[in-house]
Amino acid sequence: MAVPSDQNILDALRTAYFEIATNGAASYSVNGRSFTALDLDKLQNAIQLYESKIARGTRRMMAPISFNPTR
């Protein structure tokens, strides 16, 4: 089994949150962790954690944009 990327996990967490919040799913499992409708705060915290983790990684890989109006 391939190890899921941080983006894969974030997508699954968002899907779990959506399913619990909108479709009344009683529980959802992501990457070996289970969440229930009462765990929406924990699920939201996990989403924020992975969003931050991905954003930090993205900033490291991107070079700053420079603008030279004389060209």
Contact partners, residue 12, CB within 8 Å, separation at least 6: 4, 30, 31
Q: Domains of the chain: which residue ranges?
A: 6-59
Measured distance CA(71)–CA(63) in Å, rounded: 20
Residue 3 has pLDDT above 60, yes or no: yes
pLDDT score, position 70: 55
Record the pTM: 0.64
**Residue type for position 12:** A
Strands (E), the chain: 27-30, 33-36
Looking at CATH, the fold of the domain delimited by 6-59 is given as Head-to-tail joining protein W, gpW (3.30.1580)
pLDDT score, position 67: 47
pLDDT digits (tens, 9 = 90+) for 12-70: 999 888 887 887 767 778 888 887 766 788 889 999 999 999 988 865 444 444 444 55
